[in-house]
Amino acid sequence: MKRVAAIALGLIGLASMRPAPAQTMDIREAFFAAIRSPESRYQGKLDGAFGDYARGALKTSAAFFVDVHPVDPPVTYSRADCKRLRAQITAPDLRWTDQSGVARSFEYALEMSVCLDGSPPNELALEAMKSLPPQKR
């Protein structure tokens, strides 16, 4: 009986050492979580409006995951809360065979420069304003 109790306690200890499951977020919140992270990184399950859209467009119920990390080489902006990030979106269970006969799973990458308040970095906003045609008065 003591042996069974020791095994059970050992299994409980092992189960508590597993990493916590990733939090589920929409793509916008995943970018903001990466900006707030000391490593500028976020990994987790992708849900919300973006996940719903992707599942509807691809006609699947597969789970989507996102890995948000800084672009390489890193881009720095004048504001510390602004980052250039890349989101690698995957759906490992969504598989198909391409025209060459190779089995593939879904992958999509997206890059964005964004600040924690949702605005673009000042440098990008200034460049965009310079490219606007002059206003008539």
Spatial separation of the C-alpha atoms in residues 78 and 97, rounded to whole Å: 45
Spatial separation of the C-alpha atoms in residues 61 and 82, rounded to whole Å: 34
Lowest mean pLDDT across 4-8, 30-34, 115-119: 4-8
pLDDT of 87 reads: 96
Q: How confident is the model at residue 36 (pLDDT cuts 50, 70, 90)?
A: very high
* Cα dist from 74 to 22, 85, 113, whole Å: 25, 9, 11
Spatial separation of the C-alpha atoms in residues 87 and 3, rounded to whole Å: 48
Q: Which residue has the higher pLDDT, 10 or 129?
A: 129
pLDDT of 12 reads: 34
- What mean pLDDT, rounded, does the chain reach? 79
17 neighbors 33 (Cβ within 8 angstroms):
no
Spatial separation of the C-alpha atoms in residues 93 and 91, rounded to whole Å: 6
Residue-wise pLDDT for 70-119, tens only, equals 999 888 888 889 999 999 999 999 988 888 989 889 999 999 999 999 98
Spatial separation of the C-alpha atoms in residues 84 and 45, rounded to whole Å: 21
Spatial separation of the C-alpha atoms in residues 120 and 128, rounded to whole Å: 10
Percentage of the chain with pLDDT > 90?
A: 46
Q: How confident is the model at residue 4 (pLDDT cuts 50, 70, 90)?
A: very low
Spatial separation of the C-alpha atoms in residues 113 and 109, rounded to whole Å: 14
